[in-house]
């Protein structure tokens, strides 16, 4: 069963498979069967370590997510696993799976996220057309009520090509870094990038066609994005031109919205066609260096998607809707080594997973100063 199919018939397949399974006779120590502590309490002992951060970054760069052996599990995780295997819990989960058979997720966050993308981009357009000087420029660089803002990746291209640190760009880049670090780094992708919205629509069409068996996704090697990141950086350095900007659909779409489009939009159209018929989220998943840049920025961000082991039914719906499913590998049965896990830096904080998850195992976590790292 492919990831896509899994989502279309969410719990049915899983439930059917599980129905004949009789509870195994397990000898569980009495002290392990106590109900687990609430999420917030367990969080304190599940702090993200530097090791977790490194793992997340490596996964973002294309490495396969690390599989933690049972030997590495925390005491709490072991206790929770034992608790989940008690007959009462198994019955409870089985019933829950039945109720999920005919439940469709609502994706209510989208009602905030899409308007966010539209609003941010409309501000640029309106600011120019009504000449109100609110956000002058395009997504690559702008002035927000006079303050310099600059896209981190565009600035990087310019600095590498021009080989000079430009003070306005430095100010603009640091400002943008701080803003996006605060709200999660790659949240830029899901909450601001105009190409992301187009690509999301293309993805919906792709999934619809895939459901009918008309198209098939051809996943690529995720390491490609890291290789291309280095290639584009080197090309800027060696040629002395901002090579990537030539084909960046983010810059092209942003400028087209504000100043009117041209031939460059044909390239964006080609990308979208590839995404509909051939490779799901081709640009965002496998190419975009902007996404990777913001991924680095958000690696230590206070806004995270967190996972609660006690609620997960291992249905996999979260991964089937996710742009970057490798950040949710721990939702596969027996993969998480802690009872509270956080999605890695590649996560765009789009919130699709936490709505696809019917038992509510995933949620937003905004960390305070005390929670950081």
Query: Using CB under 8 A, which residues numbered 274 to 313 contact other proteins?
Result: 279, 282, 286-287
Instruction: Report if residue 335 touches other proteins, rule: CB under 8 A.
Output: no
Query: Does 240 engage in binding with other proteins (CB under 8 A)?
Result: yes
Q: Is 156 in the site for other proteins (CB under 8 A)?
A: no
- Kindly tell me which residue out of 262, 334, 360, 366 binds other proteins, with binding defined by CB under 8 A: 262
- The rounded distance, in Å, linking the Cα atoms of 365 and 373 is 13
228 in Cβ contact with 301 (< 8 Å): no
170 touching other proteins, by CB under 8 A: no
Shortest Cβ 85–other proteins spacing (Å):
30
Beta bridge partners of 147: 144
Q: State the Cα–Cα distance between residues 242 and 253, nearest whole angstrom.
A: 17
Q: How far is the CB of 156 from other proteins (least distance, A)?
A: 11
Binding of residue 227 to other proteins (CB under 8 A)? yes
Under the binding rule (CB under 8 A), the answer on residue 250 touching other proteins is no
Using alpha carbons, list the distances in angstroms from residue 345 to 48, 184, 319: 12, 8, 16
Q: Print the binding letters for residues 40-79 with other proteins: x by CB under 8 A, - otherwise.
A: ------------------------x---------------
Place of tokens 């030539």: 246
* CB distance 320 to 331 below 8 Å: no
When asked if residue 147 is in the footprint of other proteins (CB under 8 A), the reply is no
Region from 45-53, 67-75, 176-184, 227-235 binding other proteins, contact rule CB under 8 A: 227-235
> What is the smallest separation between the CB atom of 117 and other proteins, expressed in angstroms?
19
Does position 258 interact with other proteins (CB under 8 A)? The reply is yes
Is residue 144 part of the contact set for other proteins (CB under 8 A)? no
Binding segment for other proteins (CB under 8 A), chosen from 20-28, 161-169, 303-311, 349-357, is 161-169
Instruction: Locate 50 and state its tokens.
Output: 């530097």
Applying CB under 8 A, the residues found at the interface with other proteins are: 64, 128, 136-138, 140-143, 148, 150-151, 154-155, 158, 161-162, 164, 166, 168-169, 172, 218-221, 223-224, 227-228, 231-232, 235, 239-247, 251-252, 255, 258-259, 262-264, 266-267, 279, 282, 286-287
């Amino acid at each position: 069963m492919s990831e896509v199919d899994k989502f279309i018939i969410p719990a049915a397949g899983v439930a059917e498979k599980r129905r004949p399974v009789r509870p195994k006779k397990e000898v569980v120590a009495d002290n392990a069967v106590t109900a687990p502590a609430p999420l917030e309490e367990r969080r304190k002992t599940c702090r993200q370590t530097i090791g977790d951060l490194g793992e997340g970054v490596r996964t973002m760069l294309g490495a396969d997510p690390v599989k933690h052996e049972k030997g590495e599990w925390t005491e709490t995780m072991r206790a929770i696993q034992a608790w989940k295997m008690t007959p009462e819990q198994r019955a409870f989960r089985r019933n829950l799976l039945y109720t999920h058979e005919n439940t469709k997720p609502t994706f209510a966050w989208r009602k905030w996220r899409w308007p966010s993308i539209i609003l941010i981009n409309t501000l640029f357009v309106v600011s120019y057309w009504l000449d109100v000087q609110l956000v002058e420029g395009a997504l690559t660089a702008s002035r927000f009520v006079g303050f310099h803002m600059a896209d981190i990746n565009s600035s990087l291209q310019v600095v590498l090509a021009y080989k000079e640190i430009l003070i306005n760009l430095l100010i603009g880049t640091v400002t943008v870094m701080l803003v996006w670090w605060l709200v999660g780094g790659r949240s830029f992708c899901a909450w601001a990038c105009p190409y992301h919205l187009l690509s999301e629509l293309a993805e919906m069409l792709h999934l619809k066609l895939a459901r009918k068996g008309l198209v098939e996704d051809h996943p690529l090697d995720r390491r490609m994005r890291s290789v291309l990141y280095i290639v584009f950086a080197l090309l800027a350095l060696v040629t002395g031109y901002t090579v990537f900007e030539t084909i960046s659909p983010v810059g092209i779409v942003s400028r087209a919205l504000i100043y009117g489009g041209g031939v460059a939009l044909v390239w964006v159209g080609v990308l979208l066609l590839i995404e509909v018929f051939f490779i799901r989220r081709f640009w965002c998943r496998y190419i975009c260096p902007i996404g990777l840049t913001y991924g680095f920025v958000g690696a230590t961000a206070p806004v995270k998607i967190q996972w609660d082991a006690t609620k997960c039914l291992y249905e996999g719906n979260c991964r089937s809707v996710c742009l970057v499913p490798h950040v949710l590998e721990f939702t596969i049965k027996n993969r998480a080594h802690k009872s509270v896990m956080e999605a890695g830096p590649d996560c765009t904080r789009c919130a699709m997973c936490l709505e696809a998850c019917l038992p509510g195992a995933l949620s937003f976590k905004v960390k305070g100063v005390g929670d950081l790292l």
